[in-house]
Structure 1
Amino acid sequence: MIGQTSFTVVAGGTVTTPKGFRAGGVYCGIKKVERNDLGAIVCDVPADAAGVFTTNVVMAAPLAVTKESLAKEGKLQAMLVNSGNANACTGEQGDRDARDMRASFAAALGVPEHYVGVTSTGVIGVPMPMEKVRGGIEDLGGKLSAAGGEDFCQAIMTTDLVKKSVCVELTVNGKPVYVAGAAKGSGMIHPNMATMLGFITTDAAFQPGCLQSLLSSATDVTFNMITVDGDTSTNDMVVAMASGLAGNEPLSPNHPDWADYAAAFRFVSETLAKEIARDGEGATKLIEVNVVGAGSDYDARAIAKTIVGSNLVKSAVYGSDANWGRIIAAAGRAGVPINPNTVDIRLGGITVLRQSAPLPFDEAAAKAYLDGKEVTIHVDLHGGAGKATAWGCDLTYDYVKINASYRT
């Protein structure tokens, strides 16, 4: 977890706050409920772009199309997104529909097709209602504006209960630079880069390849460190777009402001990731697991994510039960080496295990702590310098209710 250093959070900032971006959302009839289900982020210029995508071998057609667009020049001028239909496992027709969406939006904007990316989220295996989508694209063209960030956030939501958006400002080469993001996700969340979509915009300029490396490294310690239910979606992706309109000297690891910018970029990614975990389907609590003393950062990540993803740990947190046995058991099955005799565990500030031996603790105080909306589990393995943080949520009756009738 990082704190704010050289940047400030912009109250009310959205993905359109960085220079050169517009956004919007409309309802075109994909969803049964009349709520925005088609949205877009558009840049005034071809933006340097980067992406990370699901590792699920069953990948939705729109992701393949977006990867193809990125491979052409490494630039995007627009991202078109729909909710209510994943366009996954829809065969050759799904591929044609994703390409049709890209071509139609490119024509509406008057830009080359490979400057447009597309992505979808919703029910798997249902053909895309393209007549409605084409009508929505025509309508959307007139709804894009610098004030459209909130409409875009609504357009990408499925079972999400809240919009997820953040924006920060910092100084690069003495010039104001913005990094902003929007995301959706509350179920099928177990990214390995569920259903999780993330969009990051910035007006910073970059040296070639540096935006992709920054996005990949930030994703490893933020979006890839959340889990709600252990399922990796067919549609997971995060895309970053950089307009370069801030006027800074192009960023690279050799730039004097690179560390400050990277911290701001990671903060945006981490904030969105935590909001996804907090908004997990049926969730009532955000769980943070901090692991230190592992043999490596890789080992610490595996352990932290195994603990936060354990259904037994998640259930215990929901019931405010200080069952530390479930925590150490999860650590032991993470698939990486630990010394089973040197583990310390704290729930918030309450130590329940030291050197793998139970300690007397105030059960009432532990329950009171676990009754809160945010629960932090600290694990010290005393086995090395590796450390990591993962985020998730409790497992509730409502999660089962939501997913037992997702299609209906």
Structure 2
Amino acid sequence: MTRTILRPTGFVDAPFGHDGKVAGLAGGLLWFASVELIRLDDANCRAGAELVPVEGIEERFDDDMAKQWQRITTPRPPLQLGERTIPLDQPRVMGILNVTPDSFSDGGVHEDVDAAAMAGADMAGAGASILDIGGESTRPGATTVWEGDEIERVKPVVERLSRGGNAISIDTRKAAVMEAALAAGAHMVNDVSGLTWDERSLSVVAAANVPVCIMHAQGDPQTMQDKPTYDDVLVDVWLWLEDRFEAAINAGIAREKIILDPGIGFGKSLAHNLELMNGLAAFHGIGCPLLLGASRKRMIGALSNEAEADERLPGSIALALKAAEQGAQIVRVHDVPETMQALRVWRGLKDQALTPKI
């Protein structure tokens, strides 16, 4: 059966005076006037694309397109992380807190529990809605960490920050680490393998009944940047995430608890990353909140004279704003105060555009 992927585009500042000509994106602050119809052939390869106006578009839908349209235009329910309710009607910031010796940007900075807890508290104070704590580097070339060591790294930090009332995500591929962190007070799982690395991870998340971020990655961190290849990166990642979404549902994970991440920098070339960023709005058709993690990543250095990781703040903010402009509900960043300031300015522009003129 041939399929068509819907990509919202043609964004407008406000819906006023455009009745029937624009549609709202996922209950957020964005409206769009056009849709790119990406047509696939029987082998799920791109066969063509067509740009069509929103007005009258539903007359062209088959059942699958109608389902995508409903998902694109339906508001996302808030995330419940412990006692914290996080609305997804505007972009939220997830602060990165790596308690590792070898992460690509901040390895060794937060190995001490007190230093990690202070850094997490600072991020929350600066406006981060979620703190994402990780004990294993998954940078290109990283080696696997034994789960016991990973638990030893993350558990005391999770305990300390969760006691402070923060919403905590555990960044791990391992079911045992998920269990230990959730028992210590974490409220969410963020798995760069999309719940594929550990065969128990699906059942652990389902039993815990917590939100989970399913991320796309091609290959293992040790080899993922060795000539990554796709037939069509946007289509391939879209179909893979849809498949993992269905696997999570079938495992008993509630659909309102699933978040999707296209996995910038995980088994992708610079061209792949740029294409995913440009096409990000298409992933709303799967029907989940979108998380975008591009902070300080290598693609920024590749576009700016090989700037080192600690010199990539401007590029990180540019990518966070690009994500916000396509409706991403969560941006995962190292530099929380700076990203929050950029998003507040973005929000101010949206608020002014949404102020009725008559």
Structure number with greater Rg is 1
TM-score (norm 2): 0.26
TM-score (norm 1): 0.24
Greater strand share, structure number: 1
Greater helix share, structure number: 2
